[in-house]
């Protein structure tokens, strides 16, 4: 089934999953970062205090994902989405209206948890679970919601801030999302609940990811890209200085990364269906690894462009591949539990990695050496994942 046929036959369900990933933009770092200064001012926090608070609420969101994320395996998706939207709305109101820092941070935590966490979880789980033969293509299509948000929302924010205060901008986007979601919640082609709720007090059936060796073997491969790219985003100033590049080049290359995600997602989804997730899992980080080699050897503006474009291609491919691998190893009926555990692990690691990288930079380590360490991490993750990936070939 090609993309055109897939959209024609399943546009309703794909639209729900796509909108969920687009809606996750409100909880993504790129969007919240646009309002860092006014949020800090309203809550009475310095830039450093805001950074600490942001890391704390992100870690709390990761723990909440572990607890609440698996419920998508038994709660009806329509009800699940309604709960996320209501909680996201409460978070926006708390953050924009509260005069107290504690309740404001509670609102920020809800936005991070419901936006980046649960909206992404909802969209990817629906696409991964409800499609079988065309799972890769479905995941590739719906994952375009995130780069669309990255491309559209920042200029829209800049335009709206001419007429509105920062709180008004948040309220406008909240109302827009409500208008987009309302007809889908009322008349959308929602699938039924995937399974019965586990009885309380009984031992949980199914996979227990943190107790399985193959999950730990697979985890470094799936975390290598978000962990290292987070470091590149946060320490862009040190990276461009050490590589003898300019911040303007980085800004242009960042736009190139967003564009590169589009063919990455569409080609990755098609290749997963044609070649299988095992083969793609072995190969999809190759563009990023080659980009790191270019940056280490050549440095300069070409190194920055290579990192961003190579990273964008790999980031576009990751979600179709990662979710398909989870389904192949643990089954679609427990995809919610596996994805929520993986998402929580990524949240934890992307929260801790910048702190560790900051300590390394403070020691005076050149960014080229840091890139060599990142490349070693990617290679190590690839080697560790070979055994669980090989198990997919036997199925």
CA distance 308 to 233: 10
CA distance 167 to 104: 12
Class of CATH domain 210-395: mainly alpha
**Within this chain, domains 7-190 and 210-395 share the same CATH topology:** yes
* Sequential DSSP letters for 273-313: HHH-HHHHHHHTTHHHHHHHHHHHHH-HHHHHHHHHHHHHH
Classify 392 as helix, strand or coil: helix
CA distance 367 to 238: 7
User: 214 near 341, Cβ under 8 Å?
Assistant: no
Q: Locate 359 and state its tokens.
A: 């300590």
Give the number of other Cβ atoms within 10 Å of residue 248's Cβ: 10
Q: What is the reported pLDDT for 377?
A: 92
Q: What is the reported pLDDT for 48?
A: 64
CA distance 361 to 234: 12
Query: To the nearest 10°, the Cα dihedral for 94, 95, 96, 101?
Result: 100
Which helix (H) or strand (E) is 246 found in, with range?
none
Q: Within 13 Å and on the Cβ side, how many CA atoms surround 289? A: 15
Write the CA distances from 184 to 85, 156, 177, integer angstroms. Answer: 12, 24, 11
Query: Which residue is listed with tokens 């966490």?
Result: 117
Domain range annotation of the chain: 7-190, 210-395
CA distance 235 to 216: 28
Which helix (H) or strand (E) is 6 found in, with range?
helix 3-23
User: 133 near 273, Cβ under 8 Å?
Assistant: yes
Classify 105 as helix, strand or coil: helix
User: 367 near 375, Cβ under 8 Å?
Assistant: no
Local confidence pLDDT in tens for the 395 residues of the chain? 567 777 777 788 888 889 999 998 888 877 877 777 788 788 887 766 776 777 788 888 888 888 888 888 788 888 999 999 999 999 999 988 887 888 888 898 899 888 888 898 888 888 878 776 677 788 888 888 888 887 788 888 888 888 888 888 899 988 998 899 999 888 888 888 776 666 665 555 566 777 788 888 888 898 888 888 877 877 777 888 888 888 788 878 877 888 888 888 888 888 887 888 888 888 889 999 999 999 999 888 899 999 989 998 898 888 888 888 888 887 766 777 787 788 778 777 766 777 777 778 878 888 899 999 999 999 999 999 888 888 776 55
What angle (nearest 5°) sits at the alpha carbon of residue 349, between those of residues 344 and 354? 140
Residue of 150, 173, 127, 109 whose CA lies nearest to 25: 150
Say yes or no: domain 7-190 is CATH 3.40.50.970: no
């Amino acid at each position: 089934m090609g993309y055109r046929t897939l959209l024609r036959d399943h546009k309703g369900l794909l639209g729900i999953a796509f909108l969920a990933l687009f809606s996750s933009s409100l909880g993504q770092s790129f969007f919240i970062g646009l309002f860092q200064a006014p949020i800090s001012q309203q809550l009475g926090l310095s830039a450093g205090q805001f950074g600490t608070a942001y890391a704390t609420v992100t870690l709390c969101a990761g723990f909440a994902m572990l607890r609440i994320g698996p419920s998508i395996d038994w709660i009806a998706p329509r009800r699940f989405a309604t709960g996320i939207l209501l909680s996201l709305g409460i978070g926006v109101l708390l953050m924009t209206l509260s005069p107290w820092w504690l309740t404001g941070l509670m609102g920020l935590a809800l936005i991070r948890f419901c936006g980046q966490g649960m909206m992404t979880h909802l969209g990817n789980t629906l696409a991964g679970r409800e499609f079988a033969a065309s799972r890769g293509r479905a995941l590739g299509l719906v994952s375009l919601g995130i780069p669309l948000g990255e491309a559209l929302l920042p200029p829209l924010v800049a335009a709206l801030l001419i007429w509105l205060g920062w709180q008004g901008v948040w309220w406008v986007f909240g109302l827009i999302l409500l208008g987009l979601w309302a007809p889908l919640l009322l008349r959308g082609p929602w699938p039924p609940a995937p399974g019965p709720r586990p009885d309380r007090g009984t031992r949980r059936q199914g996979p227990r990811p943190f107790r399985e060796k193959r999950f730990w073997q697979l985890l470094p491969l799936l975390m290598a890209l978000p962990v290292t790219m987070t470091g590149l985003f946060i320490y862009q100033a040190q990276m461009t200085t050490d590589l003898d590049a300019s911040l303007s080049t980085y800004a242009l290359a960042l736009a190139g990364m967003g564009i590169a995600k589009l063919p990455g997602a569409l080609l990755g989804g098609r290749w997963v269906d044609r070649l299988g997730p095992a083969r793609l899992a072995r190969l999809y980080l190759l563009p990023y690894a080659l980009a790191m080699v270019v940056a280490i050897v050549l440095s300069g503006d070409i190194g920055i462009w290579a990192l961003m474009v190579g990273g964008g291609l790999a980031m576009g491919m990751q979600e179709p591949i990662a979710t398909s691998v989870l389904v192949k190893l643990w089954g679609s009926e427990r995809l919610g539990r596996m994805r929520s555990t993986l998402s929580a692990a990524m949240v934890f690691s992307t929260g801790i990695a910048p702190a560790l990288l900051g300590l390394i930079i403070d020691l005076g380590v050149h960014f080229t050496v840091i890139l060599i360490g990142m490349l070693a991490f990617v290679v190590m993750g690839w080697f560790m994942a070979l055994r669980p990936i090989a198990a997919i070939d036997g199925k």
